[in-house]
Amino acid sequence: MVNDVLLTPAAYHVLERVPSEWFDEALARKEIASALHVSATSVSSSLAHLIRLRLVERRRRATIAPCDEIRRVGRG
């Protein structure tokens, strides 16, 4: 099976805007959607694709108010 390693232009633009430090995923999704003038759903699908390619990672922050956080994976 061949892995799809090509990024669509939409996924590439989303990747450019994902912060390199841990950041609240819901807030990042809304800010990216607003900046790119697209729906939050399309940003979510781009993020899911980027997570599968291991270019973005997600973690669950276990605090009083738990939330999901994302960050761009550093290369090099």
Asked if residue 3 is part of any domain, the answer here is no
Asked if residue 57 is part of any domain, the answer here is yes
pLDDT of residue 64: 81
Structural domain for 19, as ranges: 9-72
Q: How many structural domains does the chain have? A: 1
Which stretches of 18-71 are DSSP H helices?
Answer: 25-36, 40-52
Asked if residue 31 is part of any domain, the answer here is yes
pLDDT of residue 4: 54
* pLDDT tens digits, one per residue of 3-57: 556 788 899 999 999 999 999 999 999 999 999 999 999 999 999 999 999 999 9
Asked whether residue 76 carries a pLDDT value surpassing 50, the answer given is: no
Domain with 48 in it: what CATH number? 1.10.10.10
Residue 54 is classified by DSSP as T
Asked if residue 2 is part of any domain, the answer here is no
Asked if residue 4 is part of any domain, the answer here is no
pTM comes to: 0.84
The amino acid that residue 40 corresponds to is A
Asked if residue 61 is part of any domain, the answer here is yes
